[in-house]
């Protein structure tokens, strides 16, 4: 974790930074899923506007109707045939320690000399520092993330339902 050059840092900033990082990661993952849908599921024409997804990309199947000689063609949207990656952070665990050192009558801040974090504690304030040896020596934070496939968002479910309804069946054209 990198602190700013500002001499004063609130303790909530120290704690919220990794949480904000997780939220940003989720946002990027969601954007990647949206990009996937746009790139794989749609056929965008050159020069089309950013929000113009273009035509739905389809896979064409041919089969012979049982008991007849009739050959039929089936157009199915590609997006309804392949798994869509929708990742979500299921669990995030951050490990770092703070140790109260001594009472001080001053604002919360990080001491530029020893890296100690000065904590406000009501009328009397405390100073604190990172306690883990590994954290102290490397200035890193232990982070554990569990990422899993998320449930299908309602909006995307509706889109897939629309795509499935768009399955087109017709006699095979030459």
Partner 1 sequence: MSQQQFKTMPCPECGAPIPMSIEILLAGQAIHCPNPYCDVAMNVDQNRSRQAIDEVRKLKTALDNFEDTKRKLA
Per DSSP (E only), the strands in 1-45 are 42-43
Q: Which are the contacts of 43, defined by CB distance < 8 A and separation ≥ 6?
A: 54, 55, 56, 57
Quick one: 39 or 99, whose CB is closer to partner 1?
39
Q: Per-residue string for binding with partner 1, 48-87, x by CB under 8 A?
A: ---------xxxxxxxxxx-----xxx-x-x-xxxx-x-x
C-alpha separations of 42 from 56, 84, 116, 155, 164 in Å: 5, 13, 53, 17, 14
Q: How far is the CB of 141 from partner 1 (least distance, A)?
A: 21
**Beta carbons of 140 and 134 less than 8 angstroms apart:** yes
Task: State in angstroms the smallest separation of the CB of 58 from partner 1.
Answer: 6
Residue 39 found at the interface with partner 1 (CB under 8 A): yes
Q: CB of 55: closest distance to partner 1 in angstroms? A: 10
Contacts for 141 with CB less than 8 Å, ≥ 6 apart: 1, 18, 94, 95, 96, 135
**Residues paired with residue 117 on neighbouring β-strands, in sequence order:** 110, 128
Residue 58 in tokens: 């389809």
From the list 8-16, 38-46, 94-102, 111-119, the region that binds partner 1 by CB under 8 A is 38-46
> What number of H helices and E strands is found in the chain?
3, 11
* Binding status of residue 37 toward partner 1 by CB under 8 A: no
- Restricted to residues 124-163, the positions that interact with partner 1 (CB under 8 A) are 149
**Contact between 24 and partner 1 (CB under 8 A)?**
no
- Binder to partner 1 among 43, 106, 107, 139 (CB under 8 A)? 43
Which residues contact partner 1 (rule: CB under 8 A)?
Answer: 39-40, 43, 57-66, 72-74, 76, 78, 80-83, 85, 87, 149, 167, 169
């Amino acid at each position: 974790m990198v602190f700013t050059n500002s001499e004063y840092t609130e303790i909530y900033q120290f704690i919220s930074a990794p949480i904000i990082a997780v939220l940003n990661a989720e946002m990027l993952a969601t954007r990647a899923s949206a990009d996937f849908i746009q790139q794989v599921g749609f056929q965008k024409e050159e020069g089309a506007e950013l929000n113009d997804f273009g035509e739905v990309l389809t896979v064409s199947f041919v089969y012979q109707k049982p008991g007849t000689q009739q050959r039929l063609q089936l157009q199915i949207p590609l997006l309804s045939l392949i798994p869509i990656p929708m990742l979500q952070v299921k669990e995030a665990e951050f490990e770092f320690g703070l140790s109260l050192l001594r009472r001080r009558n001053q604002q919360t801040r990080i001491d530029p000399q020893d890296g100690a974090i000065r904590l406000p504690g009501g009328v009397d304030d405390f100073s604190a520092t990172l306690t883990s040896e590994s954290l102290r020596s490397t200035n890193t934070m232990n982070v554990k993330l569990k990422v899993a496939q998320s449930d299908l968002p309602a909006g995307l479910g509706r889109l897939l339902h629309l795509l499935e309804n768009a399955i087109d069946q017709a006699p095979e054209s030459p």
